[in-house]
Amino acid sequence: MGIWKAVSIGSLGVALLLAAVAFTGTGMLEVLVALNAAIGMGIIALLAVIIEKISKPK
């Protein structure tokens, strides 16, 4: 379940990035900000998966 959560969060980040690029007409600063946000969301998703795996009792 955790992997699918990460995939959905990651795809949401990509969707936000594409929306930001389309909305701003590819202004470089906005693209960098959107990309940074998407990367940040991906990192958070990865951390969530790692924490989920660690905290799950074996």
**pLDDT single digits (tens) 5-31:** 777 777 777 777 777 766 666 666 777
The larger pLDDT score, comparing residue 34 to residue 58, is at 34
Residue 58 is given by DSSP the state -
For residue 9 the two structure tokens come to 């969060």
Model pTM? 0.43
